Structure 1
Amino acid sequence: MELWRALRLDLAPETPHVVSFVGGGGKSTALFRLARELVAQGSRVIVTTTTHLGVAQTQGYAGLLCLAEGEGPPADGIADRLVAHGQCLLVGPRVGAKWRGLTAGQFQALWTVARALAVTAILVEADGSRGLPVKAPASHEPVVPPMTTLLVPVAGLDGVGAPVDGDHVHRPEQVRKLLGLDAGMSARLTPAQLARLLVHPAGGARHRPPTARLLPLLNKADDICRLVLGRLTAACLLRLGQASLVAAVAQEEEPVLERWAPWAAIVLAAGEGRRMGRPKQLVPVDGEPMVARAVGTVLAAGPSAVLVVTGAHGEQVQAALASWQAVAGTSLRLVPNPRWAEGQASSMRAGLLALDEAIQAALFLPVDQPLLSSRLLRQMYRCWQAGAPLVTPRVDGQIRGAPALFDRALWPELLAVQGDVGGREVLRRHQHQAATIPVQPEELQDVDTPEDLARLR
């Protein structure tokens, strides 16, 4: 997956994105990779630093512009480089082997220039780590511009399992302090500790502006061992409610291997059951009401949240789910849809509007597919993790519309759907982007009528 997509950067923002990279383990590589990707999309990009940037890292870099001491960002010079190269690398005076970073006043002026020049993003190296994979900031670090819209703490996965000492970690004494490690004892960094460090308000989230998103980048997952360590760290972050990316930004292939984020399953259980002649949500299959069976299946798939949209038989559905609510607690919620009679689209909207802002993908499933497996639902989530914006089952080469998983970027289209068609129209428009999973037709069998139920038994 491309980095700009994984970071959820709009290519036509009203004001420029300001993406600040902090931490260690490949900040500069990620910064320059993102710049190339955005330029390839036809966007204008300014790359800069608020600390220092190695001269060797910028050799041969198209669009370099060096400011003199105290000089403000020249709009004409930046514009010339944007026209010629799509990007401008703006740095301060050279001091030895490094370029100095922009001052607060220079960055404020740059922000104004960038807005006037219709720049898509300003990418900022806002921290230093002396080439080490993991760090904790000192009191004066990082230098995060207050206009930052996305803060990206970077860590190299080669730091996981390494000793917490000066040979492997920048500012090891501060890392130990933040993690509560005894200064006199030997210690190796665990995935859980790295996760805590990346989101700690005095660690990876230090100086985060109040409105900025936080998205850790777990870099150097360039072999199977590091990929596993990245997954373990990402799972720890997810338990903290934090999304993250597992990546290898130096590789030629697309850099983001997996995205980890909270996701939800939405069970559509609001219908009247007219064709069944009774509430089909409550019809038992193997001794269990279909709605309870559906909830058990999705809970076993491991989503961050499960929503059941109710309607015609809301009180009875709630009673049927009492035991699951006792087990699942707040991760299971019932969402009443007073407009259920308008069709399935109204239930989709009710479910989407009830989701927490942290949820990045929603899996919809009808209540009347009792043979669905949690294995299939987990496979669908894994396809989304790998970058698919839309995931559906496939039977004999044909895409099926339920269950279906939609990335958050597609939710505005789902919210606009009307009637009793569900997400089929959105699926049709984006089927070329869909990842599909082959399944046997029996697993997707609908139970809409007494005859369907008899065949099932």
Structure 2
Amino acid sequence: MRVAGLVLAAGGGRRYGRPKALVRHGGSLLVERASRTLIDGGCDPVVVVLGAAADPVRAVADLRGCLVVDNADWVTGMGSSLRVGLGALLATDSVAAVVLLVDMPGVTAEAVRRVAAGAGPAVLAAAGYPPGRRGHPVLLGRDHWAGVRATARGDTGAAAYLRAHRARLRIVTCGDVADDRDLDVPADQRGGRRG
């Protein structure tokens, strides 16, 4: 059963000062890292959603092997990117999608593999980090895509849907192999804030 990957990389990076897809971290662009993490984690296909600076990202980022789609409504928040990405995946035979945000370079391919293990159309799963916190990556089984798309608004993404279905959400321990710290401001690249 095929598990897709979905990189949400459309934001303008208001707090960061520029689109995070174009931020270089550890020798590569964040958008390249995120897509490579999903590919190395076994996801196929991998969809990358762009918005702010979509043309510059296409011009400089190595996104070979990915399906790149545009979110014209990126300014409304991450929810619109999630809707666009899941919409693009409807044309595939994927049974689930692993969602990863562009600004989490500490998430590893091993974390993706763990969250995707046992994937199926009805499965919901999220990475777990101490002390009892859930984070990314998140797996959304295909049976849930319509519900997620209906509720994803603003910057909350799938959070409202996952809260409403928390009894079905499987938490997968990933703190030993990944760090889902997000890079909200440039100081975060130097180990400033944990998000």
- Deviation at 1:281? 1.4
Structure 2 Cα separation of the partners of residues 362 and 398 of structure 1:
23
Structure 2 Cα separation of the partners of residues 421 and 414 of structure 1:
11
The residue that corresponds to 2:125 in the other structure is 391
After the TM superposition, list the runs of 4 or more consecutive aligned residues in structure 1 that deviate by more than 3 angstroms.
none
- Deviation at 1:404? 0.7
Structure 2 Cα separation of the partners of residues 279 and 357 of structure 1:
28
Maintained 8 Å contact 1:401/1:423: no
- Deviation at 1:432? 1.3
The residue that corresponds to 2:187 in the other structure is 451
Maintained 8 Å contact 1:399/1:436: no
1:378 aligned onto 2:113 = yes
TM-score (norm 2): 0.90
Q: How does 1:172-251 map to 2 (within 5 A)?
A: none
- Deviation at 1:382? 0.8
How big is each residue's C-alpha offset from its partner over 1:44-75, in whole Å with a ceiling of 9 and x where there is no partner? xxxxxxxxxxxxxxxxxxxxxxxxxxxxxxxx
The residue that corresponds to 2:174 in the other structure is 439
Structure 2 Cα separation of the partners of residues 372 and 388 of structure 1:
24
1:302 aligned onto 2:36 = no
Structure 1 Cα separation of the partners of residues 31 and 112 of structure 2:
16
1:280 aligned onto 2:15 = no
Structure 1 Cα separation of the partners of residues 44 and 35 of structure 2:
13
How big is each residue's C-alpha offset from its partner over 1:256-312, in whole Å with a ceiling of 9 and x where there is no partner? xxxxx1221110000001111122211111111111111111111121200000001
Maintained 8 Å contact 1:265/1:298: yes
Greater relative contact order structure (CA < 8 Å, 6+ sep): 2
May I ask how many residue pairs the two structures share in their alignment?
189
**Structure having the higher Rg:** 1
Maintained 8 Å contact 1:401/1:427: no
CA gap 1:357/1:439 in 2 versus in 1, 3 angstroms: closer
Local SS of the residue matching 2:136: coil
Deviates more, 1:348-357 or 1:364-373: 348-357
Identify unmatched segments of 5+ residues in structure 1.
1-260
Local SS of the residue matching 1:394: strand
Identify unmatched segments of 5+ residues in structure 2.
none
Local SS of the residue matching 2:58: helix
How big is each residue's C-alpha offset from its partner over 1:362-417, in whole Å with a ceiling of 9 and x where there is no partner? 111100000111011011111325x8610101122524242211111111111112
Local SS of the residue matching 1:443: coil
The residue that corresponds to 2:149 in the other structure is 415
Structure 2 Cα separation of the partners of residues 287 and 357 of structure 1:
32
Maintained 8 Å contact 2:37/2:108: yes
Structure 2 Cα separation of the partners of residues 388 and 345 of structure 1:
21
Local SS of the residue matching 1:392: strand
Q: Which amino acid aligns with 1:409?
A: D
Q: Between the two proteins, what is the percent identity of the paired residues?
A: 34
1:316 aligned onto 2:74 = no
Structure 1 Cα separation of the partners of residues 21 and 60 of structure 2:
9
